[in-house]
Amino acid sequence: MNSPLRFLAFAASVFAASNVLAQADPFNPPRNPIVLSIAGTNGEPDIYRDVSLTAYELLTGSLQFEKKDDSAKAVFAPFKLRESYVPVLSEVGLNFAQSKGITTFGFGAAYNARSLFSKQAGEDLNARLMKMKTFRSQNTGETDEEYDGARTAYYKQLWIRIFDDFYRTQASNAWIIGAAYNVQTFGILAGDKVDVDENGKIDNAHKQKGYDVSASLSYTWDQATGLTASGHTGKKRKSAVEGQDLQNYRGWSLAIARRVKTLNPNYRSSEDYMKSLFIPGVILGASYEWERCGGSATSCDDGLRSRGSFTPFFELKVTPQAQFRVGVPFRRSVQFGGKSQTELAPSVQYLLQLTGAK
C-alpha cells in the first residue's frame, strides 16, 4: 500500500464484503451506545419499576408477570435516530408504563462519559486503526486466489480484534449519570364526578396520583460487571378520592449484576455484537429498593410508613429480541405503629431491546 489511508480503505472494503461488520465504517463505529450497566433498565424491578428510566438503548420494552398483577413498560430514546450524536440530547429518553390501574409518563436525560462518538473515543479508535499491521504472506508458490483468501481472512480477524479491544476499553471503569421526571395518573383523564359509595366524597376527584424525580449513576468495571444506584423524591396520593392530599415519598435503590457465563464463545465476530454490542449470556444479580412515606396511615399507600424490596434475579440473554428475567422480590413493609411483615413475590419478566437501527 502507498499510504495508511489507502490501506485502511482497502481493509474496510474487505471487511464489509465479509458481512461481519455489516454497515460499519472504520472511522465511524456502529451507531450504538455502550451499555454501561448490565443491570440496565432492570436495576429497579419492583418498587420503582414504573418510574425507572435509563436511556442507553434506542428502544427497550418489558412485560412483567406477577401473582397479583401484570405490568407493561417501554423506554424510547428518539434522538438516537439522529445522524450525529449530541451529548445529553442523544441520551434523552421517554418513559411509558401501565401497572395496577396507574399510568406513568416520564422523560429523562443522561451524560455518557464514554460515548463511542466523543472526540476522545474517535481519536482512540483511529490510533488503533493506524497501527494495523500490513498482511504479508509467508507462503511461497501460492496462487493469486490463495493469496487473496489468506489476506481477506487476516484482515477480517484483525478488524474483529481491534473493535473488540476498543469496545472493552470503552466499558472499563466507565460511568453514566442521569436524571428523570415522571408523572403518574389514575388512568381516567376526563369524566363525570361520581360518589359510588354515597359517603359524601367524590371517588374520582383527582386525576394525578403524583410525580417522581430521580437521579441515577451507572458504573461498570468491565463488560461483565456493573452497578446502578438511584435516588428518588416526589409526592403521591393514596387514591383519587376527594380529600386525599399529596404526601412526600423518598427512597433509593442499588443494583449489581455480573455475566457469569457467555453462551456464544465466538460472540466477538457476531453481527449482534458488532452492531449493538450484545453479548449472549447468563447474568446473576440482585437489587435493593427502599421507600418511605411522610404522611399518615390514612394518606400513605396501603397504610405503610416504609417498604423495602430485595430482589435476587437470574437473567438469560439469548438474542436482543429474546431476553428473560426471573426475579424473587422479598418485600418487607412497616406499618404505622411499628408492625411489619415480609412477603415473597416471584415475578417473570420478558425483555425486548431494539438496538443497532443505524
Residues 61, 323 contacting (CB under 8 angstroms): no
Confidence grade of residue 338 (pLDDT, cut at 50, 70, 90): confident
User: For all residues of the chain together, what is the average pLDDT?
Assistant: 79
> Can you read off the three cell numbers belonging to residue 232?
428518588
Task: Give the whole-angstrom CA distance, residue 31 versus residue 276.
Answer: 8
Sequence-distant (6+) residues with CB within 8 A of 300 are 238, 247, 293, 336
* pLDDT tens-digit series, residues 30-85: 445 556 666 665 788 889 999 998 766 777 777 877 766 678 888 888 888 887 77
Is the full-model pTM beyond 0.95?
no
Q: What angle do CA 184, 185, 186 make, to 5 degrees?
A: 135
What pLDDT score was predicted for residue 235? 96
What pLDDT score was predicted for residue 332? 92
Task: Give the whole-angstrom CA distance, residue 202 versus residue 191.
Answer: 12
Determine the residue type at 254. Answer: L
What pLDDT score was predicted for residue 191? 60
Confidence grade of residue 319 (pLDDT, cut at 50, 70, 90): confident
Mean pLDDT (whole number) for 148-170: 83
What pLDDT score was predicted for residue 141? 65
Task: Give the whole-angstrom CA distance, residue 45 versus residue 43.
Answer: 6
* pLDDT tens-digit series, residues 118-136: 777 778 877 887 777 777 7
With a cut of 60, say whether residue 174 has pLDDT above it: yes
How far is the first Cα of the chain from the last one, in angstroms, to the nearest whole number? 31
Which residue, 274, 310, 275, is CA-closest to 290?
A: 310
What's the sign of the alpha-carbon dihedral 278, 279, 284, 285?
Answer: negative
Task: Give the whole-angstrom CA distance, residue 110 versus residue 176.
Answer: 7
* pLDDT tens-digit series, residues 270-283: 888 877 788 899 99
* pLDDT tens-digit series, residues 216-234: 999 989 889 999 999 999 9
Domain residue limits, the chain: 31-114+171-256
What pLDDT score was predicted for residue 81? 81
Where is average pLDDT lowest: 245-249, 331-335, 348-352? Answer: 348-352
Confidence grade of residue 211 (pLDDT, cut at 50, 70, 90): very high
Strand partners, 289: 253, 309
Task: Give the whole-angstrom CA distance, residue 60 versus residue 80.
Answer: 13
Task: Give the whole-angstrom CA distance, residue 102 versus residue 183.
Answer: 10
* pLDDT tens-digit series, residues 242-260: 778 899 999 999 999 999 9
Mean pLDDT (whole number) for 202-209: 78
